[in-house]
Structure 1
Amino acid sequence: MSGVPFLIDGHLDLAFGAALGRDLTLELDALRAADPVEGETATVTFGELRAAGTRVCFGTLFALPRTAGSPRGYTDHAGARRQALAQLDGYRRWEEAGHLRLLRTGAEVAAHLADPAAPLGVVLLMEGADPVRDADDLGFWAQAGVRVIGPAWGRTRYAGGTDAPGGLTDAGRELVAAMRDLGMTLDASHLDDAAFWEALEFGGRVVATHANSRALVPGNRHLTDEMARAIADRDGVIGLVLLSTFLRAGWGLGQPRAGLEAVADHARHYAGLVGWDHIALGTDLDGGFGREKTPAGIDRYRDVPRVLEVLPPEHRAAVAGGNWARWLTRYL
């Protein structure tokens, strides 16, 4: 898109997708033809990311807990750690093969963005902190390259989360304090309200890599206006999620997919609260959903720039990548 030099995506579950058997090195049509994941039409490959102009993303280490729908998920810290370590190994293998470059500092991000021939840059984000043994274990993960941690997904050993109300546990308070001391950033996405406000009392850096507005879609998965202001007050950034159930209240499968104007509604609402400098992308594409639940017009990742067409022209470059680039180069 004219005037938009690059994209930065605040949230992609790349290694989790690979753990499900998806080969992201394939072209998308080939991946779809052999996709082992049923009912979720894939949208993300490395080729699609290149085609969209994505230069950097936050790539997750996401350990899936055991639920009724996920009988192979973890039930304890050891199981969560095994999943995260396997995903970490996946990122390293991709890096060795030249598909991506792991980025650990703001200077590395700046140099990466200045190199148009560079592969995808990935900043490691842990989504749900159960792979971390305890606060003393954080140094291991920091050394491995993890720079951002979201303590919760649903409920974890550390915090209340999505559909699981509650504050920080004693271990959670120790974790957040240790993150602050190590210079690691808190991802407020998925934190329940009580855990969110308690975590902010520790004074560390905070972002929401993928969180839409609760004013438009009810539920504790989304940010209240007060939460959004608190993140912006700490110079944080909020990534917009491209999931129809997070864009339009009451949306369900079988209904027409939410339109791109619904994405713009969330962006404009946040902008009215905190200004355009704190709004970015956190698409979460292929993060437990496929094309069936993306906004209309986003049928594959290379379509993501279409989101920007419904935003004010003077703010498109900032939302596309400029705001994340500023934050990463300043705080990573």
Structure 2
Amino acid sequence: MQEPLIFDGHNDLLLRLHQRDISAGKDGFQGSGGRHIDLEKARTGGFGGGLFAIYVPGEQGLSRDMDEMMASSYDLPLPPQVSWETASKVALSQASYLINLERDGALKICRSTKDIQDCMTSGMMAAVMHMEGAEAIDPDFHTLDVLYEAGLRSLGPVWSRPTIFANGVPFRFPSTPDIGPGLTEDGIRLVHKCNDLGVMLDLSHLNEAGFWDVAKISTKPLVATHSNAYALCPHSRNLTDRQLHAIRDSDGMVGLNFAVAFLRPDGRMVEDTPISTMLDHLDYLIEQLGEDRVGMGSDFDGAVVPGEIKTIAGLPNLRLAMREHGYDDALIRKLCHQNWLRVLDLTWT
């Protein structure tokens, strides 16, 4: 069950490389030494590529106590806003890792859906440069212009902490995403700039007020690269039915987040979470959005994922579960990669 290839809406490989959790060479990503993602696991799992996130960790670190996320409720403190001076250095470092992996022939940075399709045909891993949290973007957009030329084609205005553009949601359960104010004036300008460039806006970490601001002013489909259904898991990170319907009406899409705390009805960070819980979310998202607007947004290398999958080498287990659940070949192809290609094509052209 290595086919169809999976194109994924979110991973944190570049953060792993930046933090030296793995190496970029033969003993790391380019071999079998990665945590969730490396080239050998990709071949085993039928992983065609996806959005590779540039993410700036906080200067004081993230207080994400796993014991706390095992409780019946939690509200984890977030690190403070990161300065542009700090963030831009980290972002350029992570972009450089991706560029050098391309130079080494390990993957290709894709700037068009044709690039992605060519990679999937040839067996080359397709990488879209993405930014999770826009701390590294200055209000004059000089950094954005430079990163765009380097291949940046997707951007989330926030991770959970605030930026000069917007506010995110904390790791809070149970909680709605209706937390804090919407876009700033700079945030409104950022939406227009991304629309003009053809950079996809990712709404996965944005709070509800910011979501509705983007929905009001953006001319492009609304996309949440790695989010789940609030109706099944009442976590601040998940999307309400009203948000899902706005995404549907814009012809956008949602990538299923594999992170167990955003899947489980109890919001707990427990690896022993069955694939059937993922299928519950897929069923619900398809019901609310339609089968053309749902894909994968794993959060590999940035989250605890179900033990039945564990790494990208375990993706055949997900395909098999979808088939046994009753999804036909056409729907599985859409969920695995066709829907991502569809929405990226709408956004980039």
- TM-score scaled by length of structure 2: 0.83
Q: Distance in 2 between matches of 1:85 and 1:331?
A: 24
Q: Distance in 2 between matches of 1:48 and 1:72?
A: 33
- Does the 8 Å CA contact 1:44/1:301 hold for their aligned counterparts? yes
| Identity between Structure 1 and Structure 2 (%) | 28
State yes or no: 1:276 paired with 2:283.
no
- Deviant stretches of 4+, over 4 Å: 27-30, 70-74
Structure 1, residues 166-205: CA drift from partner, whole Å, max 9, x if none?
Answer: 2111211111121112222110110000000001111232
Structure 1, residues 115-169: CA drift from partner, whole Å, max 9, x if none?
Answer: 334x211011111011101253232222121111110112222111122632111
* Residue of 136, 141, 144 corresponding to 2:147: 141
Aligned-partner residue type, residue 296 of structure 1: G
Q: Distance in 2 between matches of 1:260 and 1:63?
A: 30
Query: Which residues in structure 2 correspond to 1:159-174 (within 5 Å)?
Result: 159-163=166-170, 165-174=180-189
* Residue of 75, 79, 100 corresponding to 2:86: 79
Kindly state the Cα deviation for residue 46 of structure 1 after the two structures are TM-superposed. 2.3
Who is 2:319 aligned against? 308
- Does the 8 Å CA contact 2:108/2:125 hold for their aligned counterparts? yes
Flag the 1:73–1:30 CA change in 2: closer, same or farther, 3 A: farther
Aligned-partner residue type, residue 290 of structure 2: G
Q: Distance in 2 between matches of 1:278 and 1:128?
A: 23
Residue 148 of structure 1 aligns to a residue whose secondary structure is strand
State yes or no: 1:192 paired with 2:207.
yes
Flag the 1:302–1:121 CA change in 2: closer, same or farther, 3 A: same
Structure 2 stretches lacking a partner, 5+ long? 64-77, 171-178
Structure 1 stretches lacking a partner, 5+ long? 33-41
Kindly state the Cα deviation for residue 18 of structure 1 after the two structures are TM-superposed. 0.4
- Does the 8 Å CA contact 2:48/2:126 hold for their aligned counterparts? yes
- Over aligned residue pairs, what C-alpha RMSD do you find? 2.3
Who is 2:134 aligned against? 129
Q: Distance in 1 between matches of 2:165 and 2:327?
A: 41
Residue 220 of structure 1 aligns to a residue whose secondary structure is coil
- TM-score scaled by length of structure 1: 0.87
* Residue of 70, 88, 92 corresponding to 2:95: 88
Kindly state the Cα deviation for residue 5 of structure 1 after the two structures are TM-superposed. 2.4
Between the two proteins, the alignment pairs up a number of residues equal to 315
Q: Distance in 1 between matches of 2:80 and 2:217?
A: 31
Who is 1:31 aligned against? 33
Which has the larger displacement, 71-80 or 122-131? Answer: 71-80
Q: Distance in 2 between matches of 1:276 and 1:30?
A: 34
